[in-house]
Structure 1
Amino acid sequence: MEEKKHQKHTKLKRRENENFAPNEIAILGTKCSVIADFVQKMSQNLQKEAKIGYLDASHSDSEMQQDYDSFVFHHSGSLETTIKTELNEYNERIRLSQHDLVFINGNHYQGEKQILILDNEKEASVKKRLDQLTRIQFIIKLNDEVDYFDCLLEKFPHIRNIKVYAMADEDAIARHINNLIQEKIAPINGLVLAGGKSTRMGQDKTELDYHGKPQRHHAVQLLERNLLDTYISVASGMASEVDSIIEDKFFDLGAFGAICSAFQHDPNKAWLVFASDLPFVDSEVIQLLLKHRNPSKMATAIKGKSKTFVEPLITIYEPKAYPILLGYLAQGYACPRKVLINSEVEIVEVDDDLIRNINTPEEYQQALKEING
């Protein structure tokens, strides 16, 4: 009889990280100062499209003597941190989870993807790091005189087929890097919230008929018409054989728990969360939200034009929102609106009536009159 293998931990779907971040590229082949200058220029070029990080090693000969961690905020909106810590790939994946791309100084650390800079003065350095060149995205020639080193031609016989730029081709290089960022943007799934208690309505709000069918099914079809793989979020124990469902794994946390449960189901997707009590939301609103999606921020949210705060239950939550949500939960907060208010969010404004919640029988009857003319 074959012995059943013991599984110690619950098997969860993992975030698709590279060595240190969800999307990283190491730069190697030249001096650290040239790499740092290159990163600065590329970051300046890409700052409107993406959030960029840079992982490097200290080049100081003296060890930091500070006996405390410091967090120095500047009034311009920047933070300088100095922390006593060891490099740890798991912790860096948390620290760098908010970045769309992390550049890595390849002279010190290995990245999943690479940019190779050809510099005649650094042939020995390249030869020493040949095994780190696993996924070269493109090559940059530091000057016109430089050519491929023999060690590169021997290790990579087809290296001349890889795209080559001159160092001065900054705009073209930035476009190439931006394409690498765009390739990693998460696909969007739909999540229709249907696990609420509907206390004020006195009956299940998801079963109410505004458009010739239960609102739950109308909401699913609305998202599917916009080409989203869509799931229904339900309370634990309410599984359906008909619908694609995600059961709440974070009990008694309402919409907050539903969003976290969706990310636990698949942390590599963005989730367009859509409440079942918004009968005036139509395909145009969904398309507007999708059109203005900003994946460099943690979410893209709808806000009524005269409202102070965004509506958290018609919002696209990016994968980078998941660790933020869990961080708020660890502090005892389970309000998605509080998370959005205090985070980097893209806001899309619409008329207030389009995102009006229907919570009571009286509101339901009034909504029916308006929808049916």
Structure 2
Amino acid sequence: MTKHRKHTNLERRNNDNFAPNEIAILGTNCDVISDLVSKISQKLANYKLAYFDASHAKNVEKNSLSEYVFHHEGNVQITTSGNINKFQQRLDFAQFDYVFINGNHYQGAKQILILDEAKEASVLKRLEQLDRIQFVVKLKSETKYFDFLEEKYPQIKNITCYTIDEVDQIANHINNLIQEKIAPVKGLVLVGGKSTRMGTDKSELNYFGKPQKEYVKILLENQNLETFYSVQPFDFARDDNSNDDEISDKFINLGPFGGICSAFQKDPNAAWFVLATDVPFVNEEIIQLVLKHRNPSKAATAIQGKGKDFPEPLITIYEPKAYPILLQYLAQGYSCPRKMLINSDIEIVEIDDTFIRNINTPEEFEVAKNELKN
């Protein structure tokens, strides 16, 4: 008998307990943990990092007013009331590459165990939380492994071990853990637009001996990107599941914005290289240039013409962290991917304007086709 499912079974972003990528540090006092996190973060300044800790204040009154204090340099201090809620924390931490957790207070999906003889009892109390130790740090090189650790985890001495002063090596280890979870890139070719000014489907125009949608798909596939067509639900007169290389819009009548969100709904753990079919001067070198300058720490990596004021939203790699941002804009009544890019932390790749000309009318098509022949 098939089990009744009350809600749609959606693909979910791969999250740890509180963030997409987290590690808890435990086994010593809180000052040592926060000091280590501070030193590591200075070595990994090219990433977006966060530290998740508990207040050590004994008595705190509930705030009747939430205060947000912004500094002109970009820092913000927030004082508000709220309980720990993994769903809220995942939203708060969605934009971070890595989150360090004070494991004395909260349990992380992965752990760094610090061996401190003075805290043996504390480690014993949290023994069951040590289920994915990434490496061990000794406060003193001569510190021995506790007997109960070896009994519970016979292989613990085979795990990489550092001393607390080996900050460079620890930071490098963390760097590798971050790199392991960088999202793969997939391709998304936007087709099925209204093409009102052209009078015919722009994705079917022939510049290079085949429909432009096929040419664009090949451009992306030549970079080893698994690539899909973004189509409207009524395109090709068949269901979304009937063709493996199509993603049917689930966000209806939102244009490219809906296509991008639909791709993330299909795979929220991939970055999506979005490419329109009305920019025929985009070639393999430009695709390679965007991939070369991809910055997974940003929300997106976008092309911008040197003579333009704004990025091109349809020649862009959108990272998984862009998905919740897009949905936040949608919740405010905006369905313009460019607006999201302009107001987000993104990587800009500048190129000559001529490579990103939009071809929108029959006259422009004839001119572009002749230029491309030459």
TM range (shorter): over 0.9
User: Equivalents in 1 of 2:359, 2:322: separation in Å?
Assistant: 27
Deviation at 1:5, TM superposition (A): 3.1
Corresponding residue number in structure 2 for 1:58: 55
Residues 232 and 243 of structure 1 are in contact (CA less than 8 Å); yes or no, is this contact kept in structure 2?
no
Residue 124 of structure 2: aligned partner: 127
8 Å CA contact 2:62–2:81 kept in 1: the answer is no
Q: CA deviation at 1:65?
A: 4.5
Q: Deviations over 1:292-344 (max 9, x none)?
A: 00000100000011111000001000000000000000000100000000000
User: Aligned partners of 1:244, 1:6: CA distance in 2, in Å?
Assistant: 29
Distance 1:317 1:110, change over 3 A: same
Question: Deviations 1:256-304 (Å, cap 9, x if unpaired)?
Answer: 0100000011101100000011100011000000000000010000001
What's the counterpart of residue 34 of structure 2? Answer: 36
- Report 1:333-372 matches (<5 A): 333-372=334-373
Q: Name the residue aligned to 1:252.
A: 253
Take 1:286 and 1:21, find their aligned partners in 2: how far apart are those partners? 31
Distance between the aligned counterparts of 1:38 and 1:348, measured in 2? Answer: 35
Contact 2:192/2:201 (<8 A) preserved: no
Q: Assess if the C-alpha contact under 8 Å between 2:63 and 2:80 holds in 1.
A: no
Tell me what 2:279 maps to: 278
Map Cα deviations across residues 102-126 of structure 1 (whole Å, 9 max, x no partner): 0000001110100011111111111
SS in structure 2 of the partner of residue 66 of structure 1 = coil
Among 184, 191, 213, the residue aligned to 2:210: 213
Number of aligned residue pairs: 370
C-alpha distance in 1 between matches for 2:243 and 2:326: 30
Between the aligned residues of both structures, percent identity stands at 61
Matches within 5 A, 1:1-373: 2=1, 4-48=2-46, 50-239=47-236, 244-373=245-374
- Whole-angstrom CA distance in 1 between matches of 2:198 and 2:345: 34
1:322, 1:259 → 2: CA distance?
9
Amino acid at match of 1:166: T
Shift, 1:243, TM fit: 6.3
| Corresponding letter in the other structure for 1:362 | E
Moved more, 135-144 or 63-72: 63-72
Cα shift readout 1:136-162 (whole Å, capped 9, x = no counterpart):
111111112311111111111111100
What is the CA RMSD across the aligned residues, in angstroms?
Answer: 1.1
- TM normalised by structure 1 equals 0.97
Structure 1 unmatched ranges of 5 or more: none
1:195–1:254 Cα contact (<8 Å) kept: no
Q: Distance in 2 between matches of 1:76 and 1:237?
A: 48
SS of residue matched to 2:94: coil
Deviation at 1:64, TM superposition (A): 3.3
Query: What is the DSSP-based 3-state SS (H/G/I as helix, E as strand, rest coil) of the residue aligned with 1:213?
Result: coil
CA contact (8 A) 1:293 1:346 kept: yes
Q: Aligned letter for 1:295?
A: P
Moved over 6 A (4+): none
Q: Which sections of structure 2, spanning at least 5 residues, go unmatched?
A: none
SS in 2 for 1:246: strand
| Distance in 2 (alpha carbons) for counterparts of 1:276 and 1:249 | 21
> Aligned with 2:310: secondary structure?
coil
